[in-house]
Amino acid sequence: MGVTGSGKSTFISLLADQPVEVGHSLHSSTVDIRIYSFDDEREGTIVLIDTPGFDDTTRSNTEVLKEIAFFLAALYKQNLCFCGIIYLHRITDPRMQGSTMKNLRMLQLMCGKENFKHVALATTMWENMKSSEKGERIGHQRLMEMRRPDFFGQILGEGRDIIQHDGSPESARKIVRLLTEQNKKVVLDIQYELIDEGMSLDETSAGQYLREDFLEAQKRFDAEIAELQGIMEDAMNEKDEETMQAIRAERKAAETRIMRHAQDWEGLNITMQQLTHEKHLQYRDLAMNFREREQARSTKMQAAERRIRELEIMLNEMERERKTESTRISRESPPRKLNRSREQTRDRQRERLELHRDLSQPTIERRIRPRGKRRESPILMLLKGMFGGLFGYPEDEGSPWVIRRQTS
């Protein structure tokens, strides 16, 4: 989690086996939940969930909360292991902006105090500060301030500090391990509220906070309208048509804003069951798209693996031939023949290297398994676990499309 542009997708791209979309424009990039995975040699397969931030430039907070809450609730409903949240903050931010405070508050409310130990707080973009001594000093001053209880302090606890993520895959892996090593199945407040308590989203603690946000916006709207009314009366007395027109336009814009906010708030009055129906198509498409992408990738990988095996055999044969015949070739044939043989070997070695590079060597080596032993993608397994019904599993075998209240 974290505000838009804090580096969430970039962080995931350091580890994921799949390509990750990173946004370089001024608009929020990740607009809905994205799922990635990687194999950690110590912890096994880890699934990373990329989320949109609250207060982003393209979606309302209600939509973002619906998105994240639904996903978390479906995970919990299906009894799938969830081990924590990584929250990212740009160390380059000179102020704690409203959007940072809102994201932080939503994080606290969705988690609940008991779960703060399952949150890893990390700062990004250190290389922008570390380019000068002064920058580095400022970065450390900001870290000190961030530890205050009204900022990140409440989430920190015994032995837990704000982490400096240096932008490397090793640093990202260490941060993930901080959560996975706790080896706990975490139940966040919002998961408990939605599934065990059967609350609607507006009744949850996070939903209530958005309600306060709406009430504050309503207050600001009332004050703005009163101020505009005063200016309007003056303009009417002075028969100032131009100002009157400007005031009417401003009033209309303010009314549209508050109406959108009100509709947004009403949208939170939704139960998990209704949310499931609302999200059904979106998640079915997500699952189907993923399955298609995986199939295409798997076909490409199988072809590459086949070609690599062919090349290995060819290179071995060539090496053997060269060894046994090298003396004869050098004695009986002109040097041109020997050079041609070397060139052919180099061409094949280059092709093998490019194939490995194309499909990223460490990944493909891990994946070259005997036929029939290829394991299913962890993302597909997760989606099947959460949304089994979409894959043709019987509805009563744990599909979230049939929502049952759990008995305590």
Ligand X SMILES: Nc1nc2c(ncn2[C@@H]2O[C@H](COP(=O)(O)OP(=O)(O)OP(=O)(O)O)[C@@H](O)[C@H]2O)c(=O)[nH]1
- Residue from 15, 48, 49, 53 in contact with ligand X (CB under 6 A): 53
Smallest distance from the beta carbon of 239 to Mg ion, in angstroms? 53
The DSSP secondary structure of 300-320, one letter per residue, reads HHHHHHHHHHHHHHHHHHHHH
Q: Give 315's contacts (C-beta < 8 A, 6+ positions apart).
A: 345, 348, 349, 352
Both tokens assigned to 183? 């080896």
**Rounded least distance, CB 63 to ligand X, Å:** 13
Report CA dihedral (230, 232, 238, 241) to the nearest 10 degrees: 170
Nearest CA to 101 among 135, 160, 136, 54? 54
As a whole number of angstroms, the longest Cα–Cα distance in the chain is 112
DSSP summary character for residue 18: S
Tell me the closest approach of the beta carbon of residue 86 to Mg ion, in angstroms. 13
Closest separation between CB of residue 260 and ligand X, Å?
21
Residue 84 interacting entry, from Mg ion, ligand X, none, C-beta within 5 to 8 Å by type:
none
The entry of Mg ion, ligand X, none near residue 191 (CB within 5 to 8 angstroms by kind) is none
State which of positions 16-55 bind Mg ion (CB under 5 A): 29-30
Residue choice 1, 4, 14, 264 for contact with ligand X (CB under 6 A):
4
> Contact letters (x/-) for ligand X, 148-187, by CB under 6 A?
-------------------x--------------------
Of 3-11, 65-73, 91-99, 124-132, which part binds Mg ion (CB under 5 A)? 3-11
CB 92 within 8 A of CB 143: no
CB of 139 to ligand X, least distance (A): 12
Segment near Mg ion (CB under 5 A); pick from 1-9, 158-166, 259-267, 293-301 = 1-9
Regarding 9 and contact with Mg ion (CB under 5 A), the answer is yes
Span of 51-59, 263-271, 352-360, 369-377 interacting with ligand X by CB under 6 A: 51-59
* Residue entry with tokens 């100032």: 240
Measured CA to CA, the distance from residue 40 to residue 178 in angstroms comes to 13
Q: Rounded distance, CA 117 to CA 178, Å?
A: 10
Q: Judge whether 36 and 379 are in contact, CB under 8 Å.
A: yes
Q: What span, in angstroms and rounded, lies between the C-alpha atoms of 365 and 361?
A: 6
Dump the DSSP string for 253-312.
HHHHHHHHHHHHHHTT---HHHHHHHHHHHHHHHHHHHHHHHHHHHHHHHHHHHHHHHHH
**In angstroms, what is the minimal distance from the CB of 254 to ligand X?**
27
The nearer residue to ligand X, 168 or 360, going by C-beta atoms, is 168
Residue number of the CB atom closest to ligand X: 7
Site for ligand X in 6-35 (CB under 6 A): 6-10, 22-24, 28-30
**Cβ-based nearer residue to ligand X, 13 or 276:** 13
The residue ranges that bind Mg ion (CB under 5 A) are 8-9, 29-30
| Residues at the site binding ligand X, with contacts judged by CB under 6 A | 2, 4-10, 22-24, 28-30, 52-53, 56, 124-125, 127-128, 167
